[in-house]
Structure 1
Amino acid sequence: MMELTMTRMHEASVLLYALSVLLYFIDFLHSNQKANRAAFWLLAIVWLLQTVFLFLYVLKTGRFPVLTIFEGLYFYAWVLITLSLIINKLLRVDFTVFFTNVLGFMVMAIHTFAPVQIESEVLAQKLVSELLLIHITLGILSYGAFTISAVFSLLYLIQYDLLKRKKWGKRLIRLGDLAKLEHMSYVLTVIGVPMLLFSLILGLQWAYIKVPGVQWFDFKIVGSFFVLVVYSVYLYVKVRKHIYGKTLAFLNVCSFMSVLINFFLFGSLSTFHFWVT
Protein backbone atom coordinates (compact mmCIF):
# COMPACT_ATOMS: atom_id res chain seq x y z
CA MET A 1 0.00 0.00 0.00
CA MET A 2 2.82 2.36 0.90
CA GLU A 3 4.56 1.55 -2.40
CA LEU A 4 1.40 2.40 -4.36
CA THR A 5 0.94 5.67 -2.44
CA MET A 6 4.52 6.74 -3.14
CA THR A 7 4.10 5.83 -6.81
CA ARG A 8 0.93 7.93 -7.05
CA MET A 9 2.77 10.86 -5.47
CA HIS A 10 5.53 10.47 -8.03
CA GLU A 11 2.95 10.54 -10.82
CA ALA A 12 1.37 13.66 -9.31
CA SER A 13 4.76 15.37 -9.21
CA VAL A 14 5.28 14.53 -12.91
CA LEU A 15 1.92 16.11 -13.78
CA LEU A 16 2.73 19.22 -11.73
CA TYR A 17 6.10 19.36 -13.44
CA ALA A 18 4.41 19.17 -16.86
CA LEU A 19 2.10 22.05 -15.92
CA SER A 20 5.07 24.08 -14.71
CA VAL A 21 6.90 23.54 -18.01
CA LEU A 22 3.75 24.56 -19.90
CA LEU A 23 3.59 27.84 -17.97
CA TYR A 24 7.31 28.44 -18.53
CA PHE A 25 6.65 27.87 -22.23
CA ILE A 26 3.96 30.57 -22.17
CA ASP A 27 6.39 32.90 -20.41
CA PHE A 28 9.09 32.00 -22.94
CA LEU A 29 6.83 33.15 -25.77
CA HIS A 30 5.27 36.22 -24.17
CA SER A 31 7.38 37.25 -21.16
CA ASN A 32 4.29 36.67 -19.03
CA GLN A 33 5.23 37.34 -15.41
CA LYS A 34 2.06 35.76 -14.01
CA ALA A 35 2.81 32.54 -15.86
CA ASN A 36 6.42 32.73 -14.71
CA ARG A 37 5.43 33.10 -11.04
CA ALA A 38 2.89 30.29 -11.22
CA ALA A 39 5.44 28.05 -12.95
CA PHE A 40 8.03 28.87 -10.27
CA TRP A 41 5.72 27.92 -7.40
CA LEU A 42 4.60 24.73 -9.11
CA LEU A 43 8.24 23.84 -9.65
CA ALA A 44 8.92 24.63 -5.98
CA ILE A 45 6.18 22.15 -4.98
CA VAL A 46 7.72 19.52 -7.26
CA TRP A 47 11.13 20.20 -5.71
CA LEU A 48 9.68 19.84 -2.21
CA LEU A 49 8.04 16.51 -3.09
CA GLN A 50 11.21 15.24 -4.72
CA THR A 51 13.30 16.32 -1.73
CA VAL A 52 10.97 14.43 0.64
CA PHE A 53 11.19 11.32 -1.57
CA LEU A 54 14.98 11.65 -1.66
CA PHE A 55 15.17 11.96 2.13
CA LEU A 56 12.87 8.96 2.69
CA TYR A 57 14.91 6.88 0.25
CA VAL A 58 18.13 7.74 2.08
CA LEU A 59 16.51 6.72 5.39
CA LYS A 60 15.23 3.46 3.87
CA THR A 61 18.48 2.38 2.19
CA GLY A 62 21.00 4.05 4.48
CA ARG A 63 22.95 5.45 1.53
CA PHE A 64 22.86 8.20 -1.05
CA PRO A 65 20.86 7.20 -4.16
CA VAL A 66 23.48 7.25 -6.92
CA LEU A 67 24.60 3.63 -7.21
CA THR A 68 22.19 2.53 -9.98
CA ILE A 69 21.09 4.14 -13.24
CA PHE A 70 17.57 4.79 -11.92
CA GLU A 71 18.83 6.25 -8.65
CA GLY A 72 21.16 8.43 -10.71
CA LEU A 73 18.28 9.61 -12.90
CA TYR A 74 16.26 10.58 -9.85
CA PHE A 75 19.12 12.55 -8.31
CA TYR A 76 19.90 14.14 -11.69
CA ALA A 77 16.28 15.32 -12.04
CA TRP A 78 16.43 16.73 -8.50
CA VAL A 79 19.66 18.59 -9.31
CA LEU A 80 18.12 20.08 -12.48
CA ILE A 81 15.05 21.29 -10.56
CA THR A 82 17.22 22.74 -7.78
CA LEU A 83 19.49 24.59 -10.20
CA SER A 84 16.58 25.91 -12.26
CA LEU A 85 14.91 27.28 -9.12
CA ILE A 86 18.14 29.03 -8.15
CA ILE A 87 18.59 30.43 -11.66
CA ASN A 88 14.97 31.62 -11.78
CA LYS A 89 15.17 33.30 -8.38
CA LEU A 90 18.64 34.84 -8.49
CA LEU A 91 19.71 35.27 -12.12
CA ARG A 92 16.32 35.70 -13.84
CA VAL A 93 17.53 33.85 -16.94
CA ASP A 94 14.06 32.57 -17.77
CA PHE A 95 14.79 30.94 -21.13
CA THR A 96 17.50 28.81 -19.52
CA VAL A 97 14.97 27.72 -16.90
CA PHE A 98 12.45 26.68 -19.56
CA PHE A 99 14.85 24.52 -21.59
CA THR A 100 16.41 23.04 -18.45
CA ASN A 101 13.02 21.92 -17.22
CA VAL A 102 12.05 20.34 -20.54
CA LEU A 103 15.08 18.09 -20.02
CA GLY A 104 14.24 17.68 -16.33
CA PHE A 105 10.71 16.56 -17.17
CA MET A 106 12.06 13.92 -19.58
CA VAL A 107 14.39 12.55 -16.91
CA MET A 108 11.69 12.50 -14.23
CA ALA A 109 9.22 10.77 -16.54
CA ILE A 110 11.79 8.09 -17.37
CA HIS A 111 12.49 7.51 -13.69
CA THR A 112 8.86 7.50 -12.57
CA PHE A 113 7.49 5.12 -15.19
CA ALA A 114 10.45 2.77 -15.59
CA PRO A 115 9.35 -0.69 -14.38
CA VAL A 116 12.91 -1.79 -13.58
CA GLN A 117 12.92 0.23 -10.36
CA ILE A 118 9.59 -1.16 -9.11
CA GLU A 119 9.61 -4.27 -6.92
CA SER A 120 6.04 -5.39 -7.66
CA GLU A 121 5.68 -6.90 -11.15
CA VAL A 122 1.93 -6.31 -11.11
CA LEU A 123 2.40 -2.65 -10.20
CA ALA A 124 5.14 -2.29 -12.82
CA GLN A 125 2.85 -3.60 -15.56
CA LYS A 126 0.05 -1.35 -14.37
CA LEU A 127 2.32 1.69 -14.53
CA VAL A 128 3.43 0.83 -18.05
CA SER A 129 -0.23 0.64 -19.08
CA GLU A 130 -0.91 3.98 -17.37
CA LEU A 131 2.10 5.43 -19.18
CA LEU A 132 0.51 4.46 -22.50
CA LEU A 133 -2.83 5.88 -21.36
CA ILE A 134 -1.27 9.24 -20.46
CA HIS A 135 0.64 9.28 -23.76
CA ILE A 136 -2.52 8.69 -25.81
CA THR A 137 -4.61 11.14 -23.75
CA LEU A 138 -2.08 13.97 -24.10
CA GLY A 139 -1.72 13.26 -27.82
CA ILE A 140 -5.47 13.40 -28.40
CA LEU A 141 -5.82 16.55 -26.30
CA SER A 142 -3.06 18.24 -28.30
CA TYR A 143 -4.75 17.27 -31.55
CA GLY A 144 -8.00 18.64 -30.18
CA ALA A 145 -6.28 21.95 -29.42
CA PHE A 146 -4.80 22.06 -32.94
CA THR A 147 -8.19 21.30 -34.45
CA ILE A 148 -9.99 24.12 -32.65
CA SER A 149 -7.06 26.40 -33.41
CA ALA A 150 -7.48 25.62 -37.11
CA VAL A 151 -11.22 26.34 -36.85
CA PHE A 152 -10.48 29.79 -35.42
CA SER A 153 -8.01 30.43 -38.25
CA LEU A 154 -10.58 29.31 -40.82
CA LEU A 155 -13.14 31.68 -39.30
CA TYR A 156 -10.50 34.40 -39.46
CA LEU A 157 -10.04 33.81 -43.19
CA ILE A 158 -13.81 33.87 -43.76
CA GLN A 159 -14.19 37.05 -41.74
CA TYR A 160 -11.26 38.64 -43.54
CA ASP A 161 -12.81 37.82 -46.91
CA LEU A 162 -16.20 39.24 -45.86
CA LEU A 163 -14.60 42.47 -44.68
CA LYS A 164 -12.50 42.79 -47.83
CA ARG A 165 -15.59 42.37 -50.04
CA LYS A 166 -17.59 44.66 -47.69
CA LYS A 167 -20.25 42.03 -47.03
CA TRP A 168 -21.81 43.60 -43.95
CA GLY A 169 -24.51 41.75 -42.02
CA LYS A 170 -25.34 39.49 -39.08
CA ARG A 171 -22.93 36.82 -40.29
CA LEU A 172 -20.04 39.27 -40.04
CA ILE A 173 -20.98 40.19 -36.46
CA ARG A 174 -21.46 36.59 -35.34
CA LEU A 175 -18.03 35.53 -36.55
CA GLY A 176 -16.34 37.86 -34.05
CA ASP A 177 -13.53 40.33 -34.56
CA LEU A 178 -10.31 39.37 -36.30
CA ALA A 179 -8.04 40.09 -33.35
CA LYS A 180 -9.97 37.74 -31.05
CA LEU A 181 -10.05 34.96 -33.63
CA GLU A 182 -6.30 35.23 -34.20
CA HIS A 183 -5.57 35.35 -30.48
CA MET A 184 -7.65 32.27 -29.65
CA SER A 185 -6.08 30.35 -32.52
CA TYR A 186 -2.62 31.20 -31.20
CA VAL A 187 -3.43 30.39 -27.57
CA LEU A 188 -4.71 26.92 -28.48
CA THR A 189 -1.52 26.23 -30.45
CA VAL A 190 0.58 27.36 -27.48
CA ILE A 191 -1.28 24.81 -25.34
CA GLY A 192 -1.14 22.06 -27.96
CA VAL A 193 2.60 22.13 -28.70
CA PRO A 194 3.93 21.27 -25.20
CA MET A 195 1.16 18.71 -24.72
CA LEU A 196 2.24 16.97 -27.93
CA LEU A 197 5.87 17.15 -26.80
CA PHE A 198 5.02 15.49 -23.46
CA SER A 199 2.96 12.86 -25.30
CA LEU A 200 5.88 12.01 -27.58
CA ILE A 201 8.32 11.78 -24.66
CA LEU A 202 6.06 9.37 -22.77
CA GLY A 203 5.15 7.43 -25.92
CA LEU A 204 8.79 6.81 -26.82
CA GLN A 205 9.47 5.66 -23.28
CA TRP A 206 6.52 3.24 -23.45
CA ALA A 207 7.79 1.86 -26.77
CA TYR A 208 11.28 1.38 -25.34
CA ILE A 209 9.88 -0.55 -22.36
CA LYS A 210 7.10 -2.50 -24.01
CA VAL A 211 8.09 -3.04 -27.66
CA PRO A 212 11.64 -4.39 -27.99
CA GLY A 213 13.06 -3.78 -31.44
CA VAL A 214 10.53 -1.09 -32.29
CA GLN A 215 11.19 0.65 -35.61
CA TRP A 216 12.07 4.19 -34.56
CA PHE A 217 11.58 5.45 -38.12
CA ASP A 218 8.00 4.18 -38.16
CA PHE A 219 5.57 6.39 -40.11
CA LYS A 220 3.59 7.31 -37.01
CA ILE A 221 6.63 8.28 -34.95
CA VAL A 222 8.20 10.35 -37.72
CA GLY A 223 4.81 11.88 -38.55
CA SER A 224 4.20 12.90 -34.93
CA PHE A 225 7.56 14.64 -34.73
CA PHE A 226 6.81 16.30 -38.07
CA VAL A 227 3.58 17.72 -36.61
CA LEU A 228 5.55 19.03 -33.63
CA VAL A 229 8.10 20.70 -35.92
CA VAL A 230 5.39 22.23 -38.14
CA TYR A 231 3.59 23.84 -35.21
CA SER A 232 6.87 24.92 -33.64
CA VAL A 233 7.66 26.73 -36.91
CA TYR A 234 4.20 28.35 -36.74
CA LEU A 235 4.97 29.67 -33.24
CA TYR A 236 8.41 30.84 -34.33
CA VAL A 237 6.98 32.69 -37.32
CA LYS A 238 4.47 34.53 -35.15
CA VAL A 239 6.64 35.30 -32.12
CA ARG A 240 10.02 35.94 -33.76
CA LYS A 241 9.15 36.99 -37.30
CA HIS A 242 6.07 38.96 -36.20
CA ILE A 243 3.86 37.65 -38.99
CA TYR A 244 0.16 38.21 -38.34
CA GLY A 245 -3.19 38.32 -40.05
CA LYS A 246 -4.20 36.40 -43.11
CA THR A 247 -0.76 34.89 -43.71
CA LEU A 248 -0.58 33.47 -40.20
CA ALA A 249 -4.14 32.11 -40.35
CA PHE A 250 -3.44 30.41 -43.68
CA LEU A 251 -0.22 28.93 -42.26
CA ASN A 252 -2.14 27.52 -39.29
CA VAL A 253 -4.77 25.91 -41.53
CA CYS A 254 -1.98 24.37 -43.62
CA SER A 255 -0.27 23.17 -40.42
CA PHE A 256 -3.45 21.36 -39.47
CA MET A 257 -3.09 19.31 -42.65
CA SER A 258 -0.06 17.68 -41.02
CA VAL A 259 -2.32 16.56 -38.15
CA LEU A 260 -4.81 14.98 -40.54
CA ILE A 261 -2.08 13.29 -42.58
CA ASN A 262 -0.40 11.89 -39.46
CA PHE A 263 -3.65 10.74 -37.88
CA PHE A 264 -5.28 9.10 -40.88
CA LEU A 265 -2.58 8.28 -43.45
CA PHE A 266 0.49 7.59 -41.31
CA GLY A 267 -1.69 5.91 -38.68
CA SER A 268 -2.86 3.36 -41.26
CA LEU A 269 0.71 2.75 -42.49
CA SER A 270 2.19 2.40 -39.01
CA THR A 271 3.07 -0.86 -37.29
CA PHE A 272 3.99 0.93 -34.05
CA HIS A 273 0.46 1.70 -32.85
CA PHE A 274 -0.89 -1.77 -33.54
CA TRP A 275 0.97 -3.14 -30.53
CA VAL A 276 -1.20 -3.85 -27.52
CA THR A 277 -0.37 -3.43 -23.88
Structure 2
Amino acid sequence: MSSFRWIYDLTIILYALSVLGYFVDFLQNNRKANRIAFWLLSIVWVLQFAVLVFRVFETNRFPVLTPTEGLFFYSWMIVTLSLLINWFFRVDFFVFFTNIIGFILMAVSWFAPNSYVSPQFSDQLINELAIIHITMAFIAYGAFTLSSILSIMYVTQYNMLKEKKVGKKLWRFDSLGKLDNLSYLLNVVGVPIMFLSLVLGLIYGYKMNLAPAIFYDAKVISSFIVLIVYGYYLYLRVVRGTYGRQLSYWNVAGLLVILINYFLAATLTEFHLWY
Protein backbone atom coordinates (compact mmCIF):
# COMPACT_ATOMS: atom_id res chain seq x y z
CA MET A 1 0.00 0.00 0.00
CA SER A 2 3.01 2.26 -0.14
CA SER A 3 1.84 4.09 -3.27
CA PHE A 4 -1.19 5.49 -1.46
CA ARG A 5 -0.16 5.18 2.19
CA TRP A 6 -0.98 8.84 2.79
CA ILE A 7 -4.66 8.13 2.06
CA TYR A 8 -4.56 5.24 4.53
CA ASP A 9 -2.95 7.45 7.20
CA LEU A 10 -5.43 10.28 6.59
CA THR A 11 -8.31 7.83 6.88
CA ILE A 12 -7.14 6.67 10.32
CA ILE A 13 -6.76 10.26 11.53
CA LEU A 14 -10.23 11.27 10.35
CA TYR A 15 -11.68 8.06 11.74
CA ALA A 16 -10.18 8.84 15.16
CA LEU A 17 -11.62 12.38 15.05
CA SER A 18 -15.02 10.98 14.08
CA VAL A 19 -15.06 8.52 17.00
CA LEU A 20 -13.93 11.36 19.29
CA GLY A 21 -16.82 13.52 18.06
CA TYR A 22 -19.33 10.74 18.74
CA PHE A 23 -17.78 10.26 22.18
CA VAL A 24 -18.25 13.96 22.99
CA ASP A 25 -21.87 13.67 21.86
CA PHE A 26 -22.33 10.56 24.03
CA LEU A 27 -21.03 12.36 27.12
CA GLN A 28 -22.61 15.78 26.59
CA ASN A 29 -25.57 15.21 24.22
CA ASN A 30 -23.82 17.57 21.81
CA ARG A 31 -25.69 17.50 18.50
CA LYS A 32 -23.12 19.70 16.77
CA ALA A 33 -20.37 17.21 17.62
CA ASN A 34 -22.64 14.44 16.35
CA ARG A 35 -23.11 16.13 12.97
CA ILE A 36 -19.40 16.80 12.57
CA ALA A 37 -18.60 13.21 13.50
CA PHE A 38 -21.14 11.94 10.96
CA TRP A 39 -19.62 13.93 8.09
CA LEU A 40 -16.11 12.91 9.11
CA LEU A 41 -17.23 9.29 9.07
CA SER A 42 -18.76 9.80 5.63
CA ILE A 43 -15.39 11.10 4.41
CA VAL A 44 -13.73 8.06 6.00
CA TRP A 45 -16.07 5.81 4.01
CA VAL A 46 -15.12 7.57 0.75
CA LEU A 47 -11.40 7.30 1.52
CA GLN A 48 -11.70 3.64 2.49
CA PHE A 49 -13.56 2.95 -0.73
CA ALA A 50 -10.81 4.76 -2.66
CA VAL A 51 -8.15 2.60 -0.98
CA LEU A 52 -10.05 -0.55 -1.93
CA VAL A 53 -10.33 0.61 -5.55
CA PHE A 54 -6.63 1.52 -5.72
CA ARG A 55 -5.75 -1.84 -4.21
CA VAL A 56 -7.80 -3.63 -6.88
CA PHE A 57 -5.78 -1.93 -9.62
CA GLU A 58 -2.50 -2.51 -7.78
CA THR A 59 -3.00 -6.25 -7.21
CA ASN A 60 -5.43 -7.16 -10.02
CA ARG A 61 -7.73 -8.87 -7.51
CA PHE A 62 -10.25 -7.96 -4.84
CA PRO A 63 -8.23 -6.99 -1.72
CA VAL A 64 -9.25 -9.44 1.02
CA LEU A 65 -6.44 -12.00 1.05
CA THR A 66 -3.83 -10.57 3.44
CA PRO A 67 -4.26 -9.69 7.14
CA THR A 68 -4.15 -5.96 6.38
CA GLU A 69 -6.67 -6.28 3.56
CA GLY A 70 -9.00 -8.46 5.61
CA LEU A 71 -9.08 -6.13 8.62
CA PHE A 72 -9.42 -3.08 6.37
CA PHE A 73 -12.37 -4.58 4.47
CA TYR A 74 -14.00 -5.72 7.73
CA SER A 75 -13.71 -2.13 9.03
CA TRP A 76 -15.16 -0.76 5.79
CA MET A 77 -18.12 -3.13 6.05
CA ILE A 78 -18.84 -1.89 9.58
CA VAL A 79 -18.69 1.76 8.45
CA THR A 80 -20.93 1.01 5.46
CA LEU A 81 -23.59 -0.90 7.38
CA SER A 82 -23.59 1.55 10.32
CA LEU A 83 -24.10 4.54 8.00
CA LEU A 84 -26.90 2.76 6.12
CA ILE A 85 -28.71 1.76 9.31
CA ASN A 86 -28.30 5.24 10.76
CA TRP A 87 -29.61 6.78 7.52
CA PHE A 88 -32.72 4.61 7.29
CA PHE A 89 -33.54 3.97 10.97
CA ARG A 90 -31.92 6.84 12.90
CA VAL A 91 -30.67 4.95 15.95
CA ASP A 92 -28.75 7.34 18.18
CA PHE A 93 -25.44 6.19 19.66
CA PHE A 94 -25.43 3.16 17.35
CA VAL A 95 -22.84 4.65 14.99
CA PHE A 96 -20.66 5.56 17.96
CA PHE A 97 -20.63 2.05 19.43
CA THR A 98 -20.15 0.28 16.09
CA ASN A 99 -17.31 2.50 14.97
CA ILE A 100 -15.33 2.01 18.14
CA ILE A 101 -14.91 -1.55 16.87
CA GLY A 102 -14.48 -0.36 13.28
CA PHE A 103 -11.70 2.02 14.30
CA ILE A 104 -9.92 -0.68 16.33
CA LEU A 105 -9.98 -2.99 13.30
CA MET A 106 -8.71 -0.19 11.08
CA ALA A 107 -5.90 0.67 13.52
CA VAL A 108 -4.85 -3.00 13.89
CA SER A 109 -4.80 -3.33 10.09
CA TRP A 110 -2.19 -0.58 9.99
CA PHE A 111 0.25 -2.87 11.85
CA ALA A 112 -0.81 -6.18 10.30
CA PRO A 113 1.40 -7.86 7.69
CA ASN A 114 0.49 -7.03 4.12
CA SER A 115 2.74 -9.33 2.15
CA TYR A 116 1.54 -10.40 -1.25
CA VAL A 117 0.23 -13.90 -1.71
CA SER A 118 2.90 -16.22 -3.01
CA PRO A 119 2.71 -17.26 -6.70
CA GLN A 120 2.18 -20.90 -5.73
CA PHE A 121 -0.74 -19.99 -3.48
CA SER A 122 -2.13 -17.72 -6.16
CA ASP A 123 -2.08 -20.47 -8.76
CA GLN A 124 -4.11 -22.72 -6.50
CA LEU A 125 -6.54 -20.60 -4.57
CA ILE A 126 -7.17 -17.19 -6.10
CA ASN A 127 -10.07 -17.11 -8.50
CA GLU A 128 -13.53 -15.65 -8.59
CA LEU A 129 -15.11 -18.37 -6.46
CA ALA A 130 -12.57 -17.91 -3.66
CA ILE A 131 -12.99 -14.12 -3.71
CA ILE A 132 -16.79 -14.42 -3.55
CA HIS A 133 -16.49 -16.89 -0.65
CA ILE A 134 -14.26 -14.55 1.36
CA THR A 135 -16.20 -11.37 0.55
CA MET A 136 -19.49 -12.97 1.58
CA ALA A 137 -17.91 -14.07 4.85
CA PHE A 138 -16.90 -10.48 5.60
CA ILE A 139 -20.40 -9.20 4.82
CA ALA A 140 -21.77 -11.77 7.28
CA TYR A 141 -19.17 -10.77 9.90
CA GLY A 142 -20.25 -7.16 9.52
CA ALA A 143 -23.96 -7.98 9.88
CA PHE A 144 -23.34 -10.20 12.92
CA THR A 145 -21.09 -7.61 14.58
CA LEU A 146 -23.64 -4.83 14.23
CA SER A 147 -26.44 -7.13 15.37
CA SER A 148 -24.50 -7.96 18.52
CA ILE A 149 -23.80 -4.28 19.19
CA LEU A 150 -27.54 -3.54 18.95
CA SER A 151 -28.08 -6.28 21.54
CA ILE A 152 -25.47 -4.67 23.80
CA MET A 153 -27.41 -1.40 23.48
CA TYR A 154 -30.62 -3.30 24.28
CA VAL A 155 -29.18 -4.81 27.47
CA THR A 156 -27.70 -1.44 28.49
CA GLN A 157 -31.01 0.38 28.06
CA TYR A 158 -32.94 -2.42 29.76
CA ASN A 159 -30.71 -2.15 32.82
CA MET A 160 -31.00 1.65 32.85
CA LEU A 161 -34.79 1.39 32.77
CA LYS A 162 -34.76 -1.26 35.50
CA GLU A 163 -32.62 1.00 37.70
CA LYS A 164 -34.83 4.00 36.77
CA LYS A 165 -31.93 5.98 35.33
CA VAL A 166 -34.16 8.16 33.18
CA GLY A 167 -32.59 11.01 31.21
CA LYS A 168 -31.70 12.33 27.77
CA LYS A 169 -29.05 9.67 27.28
CA LEU A 170 -31.56 6.90 27.95
CA TRP A 171 -34.09 8.09 25.37
CA ARG A 172 -31.40 8.48 22.72
CA PHE A 173 -30.83 4.72 22.84
CA ASP A 174 -34.18 4.39 21.02
CA SER A 175 -36.92 1.93 21.95
CA LEU A 176 -36.17 -1.59 23.10
CA GLY A 177 -38.46 -2.97 20.41
CA LYS A 178 -36.61 -1.14 17.65
CA LEU A 179 -33.21 -2.33 18.86
CA ASP A 180 -34.48 -5.90 19.12
CA ASN A 181 -36.04 -5.87 15.65
CA LEU A 182 -32.98 -4.34 13.96
CA SER A 183 -30.75 -6.90 15.62
CA TYR A 184 -33.00 -9.66 14.32
CA LEU A 185 -33.05 -8.14 10.81
CA LEU A 186 -29.25 -8.10 10.61
CA ASN A 187 -29.09 -11.75 11.62
CA VAL A 188 -31.70 -12.62 9.00
CA VAL A 189 -29.28 -11.09 6.47
CA GLY A 190 -26.09 -12.52 7.97
CA VAL A 191 -27.03 -16.17 8.50
CA PRO A 192 -27.86 -17.10 4.87
CA ILE A 193 -24.85 -15.13 3.58
CA MET A 194 -22.57 -16.96 6.02
CA PHE A 195 -24.10 -20.29 5.03
CA LEU A 196 -23.55 -19.62 1.33
CA SER A 197 -20.00 -18.47 2.01
CA LEU A 198 -19.19 -21.73 3.80
CA VAL A 199 -20.80 -23.81 1.06
CA LEU A 200 -18.77 -22.01 -1.62
CA GLY A 201 -15.62 -22.42 0.46
CA LEU A 202 -16.13 -26.16 0.83
CA ILE A 203 -16.91 -26.58 -2.86
CA TYR A 204 -13.78 -24.69 -3.76
CA GLY A 205 -11.67 -26.63 -1.28
CA TYR A 206 -12.94 -29.90 -2.74
CA LYS A 207 -12.25 -28.62 -6.25
CA MET A 208 -8.69 -27.73 -5.26
CA ASN A 209 -8.13 -31.21 -3.75
CA LEU A 210 -7.90 -29.86 -0.19
CA ALA A 211 -10.24 -32.52 1.18
CA PRO A 212 -10.32 -34.14 3.67
CA ALA A 213 -7.99 -31.74 5.55
CA ILE A 214 -10.29 -28.77 4.98
CA PHE A 215 -13.09 -30.42 6.96
CA TYR A 216 -11.08 -30.38 10.20
CA ASP A 217 -9.34 -27.04 9.61
CA ALA A 218 -9.67 -24.79 12.69
CA LYS A 219 -11.03 -21.86 10.70
CA VAL A 220 -13.67 -23.96 8.95
CA ILE A 221 -14.82 -25.54 12.22
CA SER A 222 -15.00 -22.19 14.04
CA SER A 223 -16.88 -20.64 11.10
CA PHE A 224 -19.51 -23.35 11.35
CA ILE A 225 -19.74 -22.63 15.08
CA VAL A 226 -20.44 -18.97 14.23
CA LEU A 227 -23.17 -20.09 11.84
CA ILE A 228 -24.67 -22.38 14.49
CA VAL A 229 -24.65 -19.64 17.15
CA TYR A 230 -26.48 -17.12 14.98
CA GLY A 231 -28.66 -19.78 13.41
CA TYR A 232 -29.76 -20.78 16.91
CA TYR A 233 -30.57 -17.11 17.55
CA LEU A 234 -33.00 -17.23 14.62
CA TYR A 235 -34.43 -20.50 15.92
CA LEU A 236 -35.05 -18.95 19.32
CA ARG A 237 -36.68 -15.89 17.77
CA VAL A 238 -38.76 -17.48 15.02
CA VAL A 239 -39.61 -20.94 16.35
CA ARG A 240 -39.52 -20.51 20.13
CA GLY A 241 -40.81 -16.93 20.10
CA THR A 242 -38.03 -15.70 22.39
CA TYR A 243 -37.60 -11.93 22.61
CA GLY A 244 -35.87 -9.34 24.70
CA ARG A 245 -33.03 -9.61 27.17
CA GLN A 246 -32.56 -13.40 27.04
CA LEU A 247 -32.12 -13.31 23.27
CA SER A 248 -29.86 -10.26 23.49
CA TYR A 249 -27.47 -12.01 25.87
CA TRP A 250 -27.17 -14.88 23.40
CA ASN A 251 -26.45 -12.40 20.61
CA VAL A 252 -23.79 -10.63 22.67
CA ALA A 253 -22.09 -13.99 23.26
CA GLY A 254 -22.11 -14.42 19.48
CA LEU A 255 -19.80 -11.41 19.14
CA LEU A 256 -17.20 -13.16 21.29
CA VAL A 257 -17.47 -16.22 19.05
CA ILE A 258 -16.84 -14.04 15.99
CA LEU A 259 -13.73 -12.49 17.55
CA ILE A 260 -12.38 -15.93 18.48
CA ASN A 261 -13.13 -17.17 14.97
CA TYR A 262 -11.52 -14.19 13.30
CA PHE A 263 -8.36 -13.76 15.38
CA LEU A 264 -7.61 -17.00 17.24
CA ALA A 265 -8.72 -19.57 14.65
CA ALA A 266 -6.77 -17.68 11.99
CA THR A 267 -3.54 -18.57 13.80
CA LEU A 268 -4.38 -22.29 13.74
CA THR A 269 -5.54 -22.68 10.16
CA GLU A 270 -3.62 -24.06 7.21
CA PHE A 271 -5.75 -22.61 4.43
CA HIS A 272 -6.83 -19.17 5.61
CA LEU A 273 -5.24 -15.89 6.58
CA TRP A 274 -7.29 -13.36 8.58
CA TYR A 275 -10.70 -13.89 7.07
Is 1:185 the counterpart of 2:170? The answer is no
Q: Is the 1:207–1:214 contact (alpha carbons within 8 Å) kept by the matching residues of 2?
A: no
Q: Is the 2:147–2:187 contact (alpha carbons within 8 Å) kept by the matching residues of 1?
A: yes
Is 1:140 the counterpart of 2:134? The answer is no
Is 1:194 the counterpart of 2:192? The answer is yes
Counterpart of 1:161 in structure 2 is: 159
Query: How far, CA to CA, are the matches of 2:204 and 2:144 in structure 1?
Result: 24
Query: How far, CA to CA, are the matches of 2:232 and 2:175 in structure 1?
Result: 25
Query: How far, CA to CA, are the matches of 2:162 and 2:136 in structure 1?
Result: 39
Counterpart of 1:224 in structure 2 is: 223
1:210, distance to aligned residue in structure 2 (A) = 2.4
| TM-score, normalised via structure 1 length | 0.52
| CA RMSD, 1 decimal | 2.0
| TM-score, normalised via structure 2 length | 0.52
Q: Secondary structure at the match of 1:244?
A: coil
- TM-superposition CA deviations, 1:157-180 (whole Å, max 9, x none): 110011111111111111101000
- TM-superposition CA deviations, 1:36-85 (whole Å, max 9, x none): xxxxxxxxxxxxxxxxxxxxxxxxxxxxxxxxxxxxxxxxxxxxxxxxxx
Query: How far, CA to CA, are the matches of 2:168 and 2:152 in structure 1?
Result: 18
Counterpart of 1:104 in structure 2 is: none
- TM-superposition CA deviations, 1:101-132 (whole Å, max 9, x none): xxxxxxxxxxxxxxxxxxxxxxxx89961101
Query: How far, CA to CA, are the matches of 1:188 and 1:201 in structure 2?
Result: 20
Which one has more relative contact order, counting CA pairs under 8 Å at least 6 apart? 2
1:212, distance to aligned residue in structure 2 (A) = 3.5
Counterpart of 2:253 in structure 1 is: 254
1:239, distance to aligned residue in structure 2 (A) = 1.1
Counterpart of 1:238 in structure 2 is: 237
Counterpart of 1:264 in structure 2 is: 263
What percentage of residue pairs aligned between the two structures are identical?
A: 44
Runs of 5+ consecutive residues of structure 2 not aligned to the other structure:
1-122
CA pair 131-245 structure 1, distance change in 2 beyond 3 A: same
Query: How far, CA to CA, are the matches of 2:125 and 2:252 in structure 1?
Result: 37
Q: Is the 1:128–1:206 contact (alpha carbons within 8 Å) kept by the matching residues of 2?
A: no
- Paired letter, 1:201: V
Q: Which has the larger radius of gyration?
A: 1
Q: Secondary structure at the match of 2:225?
A: helix
Q: Is the 2:124–2:208 contact (alpha carbons within 8 Å) kept by the matching residues of 1?
A: no
Query: How far, CA to CA, are the matches of 1:188 and 1:167 in structure 2?
Result: 29
Query: How far, CA to CA, are the matches of 1:267 and 1:127 in structure 2?
Result: 17
- Paired letter, 1:186: Y
Query: How far, CA to CA, are the matches of 1:161 and 1:247 in structure 2?
Result: 13
| Aligned positions, number | 151
Query: How far, CA to CA, are the matches of 1:232 and 1:248 in structure 2?
Result: 12
Query: How far, CA to CA, are the matches of 1:142 and 1:197 in structure 2?
Result: 9
